[in-house]
Amino acid sequence: MCDLHGEGHVATCDRLLREIRHENDLISHRLGWMMQANGFFYAAYALLATAPPSFGVCLMQVVLGYVGIQVIAEGIAGFRIAAAQIAQYQEHIQSIHLEGNCIYHPRAYSRKENESEGGYAGLKMAVVMQRGWYGLILFAVLRVMFV
């Protein structure tokens, strides 16, 4: 493959590795934002759970759950976009390496390292949080129906 923007192959690899680190940082920031937002939603839900059961309380809990699910869905989309971008950068480094023009091995910043930095673990955590909201919404509805 060619060097980008008129820079040498080593400089291209350096820039791509910086971009991979940047994408990993974005994943970490999105995960923190998503966890923080859902923490507020969970706290509001718990506060409503202490109130006597009524249709209004149930409706507010369902709305909080829906908003929490949407925040998580946006976070998951962001994780997937960043992961796809990282894969493209890694493929580019691989092609430069195969030409013999890059001192970096393509696994110098591999998917395993990305996972250990929390990017892919964050995606799993988001899915678990989303499923938790489904359970809480069901609980809110059943609480009003049977109490």
Could you read off the pLDDT of 43-72 as tens digits, one per residue?
A: 999 999 899 989 999 999 999 999 999 999
Is the pLDDT confidence value at 1 over 70?
Answer: no
Average pLDDT, integer, range 2-6:
47
Q: Is residue 4 part of a domain?
A: no
Is the pLDDT confidence value at 73 over 80?
Answer: yes
Q: Is residue 52 part of a domain?
A: yes
Q: Is residue 103 part of a domain?
A: yes
What's 70-115 look like in SS3? HHHHHHHHHHHHHHHHHHHHHHHHHHHHHCCCCCCCHHHHCHHHHH
Q: Is residue 97 part of a domain?
A: yes
Tally of domains within the chain: 1
For residue 27, the enclosing domain spans 9-146
Average pLDDT, integer, range 122-128:
78
Q: Which residue would you say has higher pLDDT here, 138 or 2?
A: 138
